[in-house]
Amino acid sequence: MGKTPQSYRVVSVFCSVSLSLNAHAYIVKKGESFSKIIGRNLPGLVYGRNGNFDKILKLNPQIKNPHLIIPGTEINLGDAGAVVSDVSVAEEKEVRNVASPDFAPVPESSPTSFEFNPYFVFSNLSVRDRSSGAKAELASELYAGGRFSYIQGWSEEFQSYLQLNFAYVTFEQPTTSQVSLKDSNRFLTGLSLGGKYHFKKNLRGYLHADYQKELFVRSIDTTTITVDGILVPSVGSNLEYDFLNYNNLILGISGKFDYKLASKADSYRVNNGYVYGAGLYLKEIKGIQTDLSFYTRGQDSTITQQKETGVFLSVKMMVPHGNK
């Protein structure tokens, strides 16, 4: 017989694809990601108004965090789960151009998610009054709060987020001085805008700008200590590195540095300052992450010198939401 015409080659490839339409399940292999699996195994766009990302995520409720999947995970690709990974790139493009009008460009959008992060802090505030030289040590009796984040994914590597922060702080009465603490309760709020970039699958970096209340001692006189909550702008960066992956659990280390900008209270000014810290975290495949870290904040005012140190314990969890 003669050589198969070029036009039949496209048809034969397309038929071989259609024969695998009943292959609904896919097992994740090492080095693969959720979006790349969808892009390689399903026709059409990954993201966008008619994209497959949200559709396939909805079919897999066991995947709490699509950006964190491990080898061996089974993914349901639905009734249209055609396995086309064995087709060459040139043939795949040819099939896509002939087979379906769904490949026409559409405005792309990316998946969104929500995250809730309750936390507890054990904090100590060391203060020295500039005028009198008096010193005091304040320890938190209760320091609890939460962060609620709206996360927008723009690509496989980059996500942006908007975060609301709130905390309630109660201090114990000081034991290192003869004065009492006035108004020991404070409610702190804040707002953060930032981005997360995946340098590698196990290495992530964050950049963020914050505007939130920080604790400052107004004065230490002969009878009382007064604590304020002052809004302070800041910029900072964080790094996370996963160094151990075992039995669906990931152990990693983190580090942070923030630069606190000057601010103003009603009767005094707050100088520039800093925050640095490091810690460990444990993540599981469902997307829950537990962090344990320490931090140090140094930021003086025109009336006091102060340094805050603390231990930070938090849990991050994805908030379920409907997919469009």
> Are residues 279 and 311 part of one domain?
yes
Cα separation, 23 vs 79, in Å, equals 8
pLDDT for the residue numbered 201: 81
Is 217 a residue whose pLDDT tops 80? yes
For residues 151 and 160, the answer to whether their CB atoms sit within 8 Å is yes
For residues 285 and 68, the answer to whether their CB atoms sit within 8 Å is yes
In a domain, 182, yes or no: yes
> Are residues 145 and 61 part of one domain?
no
Q: Which of 46, 80, 103 is the last residue of a domain?
A: 103
213 band by pLDDT with thresholds 50, 70 and 90: very high
Interval 191-211: pLDDT, tens:
999 999 999 888 999 999 999
Is 36 a residue whose pLDDT tops 70? yes
In a domain, 36, yes or no: yes
> Are residues 152 and 33 part of one domain?
no
Ranking 5-19, 160-174, 250-264 by mean pLDDT, the lowest is 5-19
306: left (phi over 0), alpha (psi -120 to 50) or beta: beta
Q: E strands along the chain, which residues?
A: 25-27, 74-76, 112-129, 135-153, 158-171, 180-182, 185-200, 203-220, 224-246, 249-260, 263-264, 269-270, 273-284, 289-298, 304-319
Cα separation, 306 vs 138, in Å, equals 11
> Are residues 278 and 165 part of one domain?
yes
Regarding predicted confidence, which is higher, 240 or 99? 240
pLDDT for the residue numbered 222: 61
> Are residues 122 and 42 part of one domain?
no
Is 8 a residue whose pLDDT tops 50? no
183 band by pLDDT with thresholds 50, 70 and 90: confident
Domain that holds residue 23: 6-103
pLDDT for the residue numbered 279: 97
- Comparing CA positions, the residue from 162, 158, 160, 159 lying closest to residue 150 is 162
For residues 208 and 220, the answer to whether their CB atoms sit within 8 Å is no
In a domain, 261, yes or no: yes
13 band by pLDDT with thresholds 50, 70 and 90: very low
Q: What is the CATH number for 169? A: 2.40.128.100
Is 310 a residue whose pLDDT tops 70? yes
> Are residues 30 and 85 part of one domain?
yes
320 band by pLDDT with thresholds 50, 70 and 90: low
Percent of the chain with pLDDT over 90: 37
- Give per-residue burial for 217-240: e unless 16+ CB within 10 Å, then b: bbbbeeeebebbbbbbebebebbb
- The pTM of this model reads 0.67
Q: What is the mean pLDDT of the chain?
A: 79
> Are residues 234 and 187 part of one domain?
yes
Interval 40-87: pLDDT, tens:
888 877 776 677 888 888 888 888 778 777 788 888 887 655 434 333
Regarding predicted confidence, which is higher, 76 or 234? 234
In a domain, 324, yes or no: no
Ranking 138-142, 153-157, 166-170 by mean pLDDT, the lowest is 153-157
Regarding predicted confidence, which is higher, 151 or 318? 151
**What DSSP assignment string belongs to 26-43?**
EE--TT--HHHHHHHHSS
Looking at the structure of the chain, the number of domains it has is: 2
> Are residues 95 and 126 part of one domain?
no
> Are residues 184 and 154 part of one domain?
yes
Interval 94-138: pLDDT, tens:
333 333 333 333 333 347 888 999 999 999 999 888 888 888 888
pLDDT for the residue numbered 32: 81
Regarding predicted confidence, which is higher, 258 or 179? 258
Cα separation, 76 vs 71, in Å, equals 15
Percent of the chain with pLDDT over 70: 78
pLDDT for the residue numbered 96: 38
pLDDT for the residue numbered 285: 64
Interval 254-298: pLDDT, tens:
999 999 999 998 889 999 999 999 999 998 866 789 999 999 999
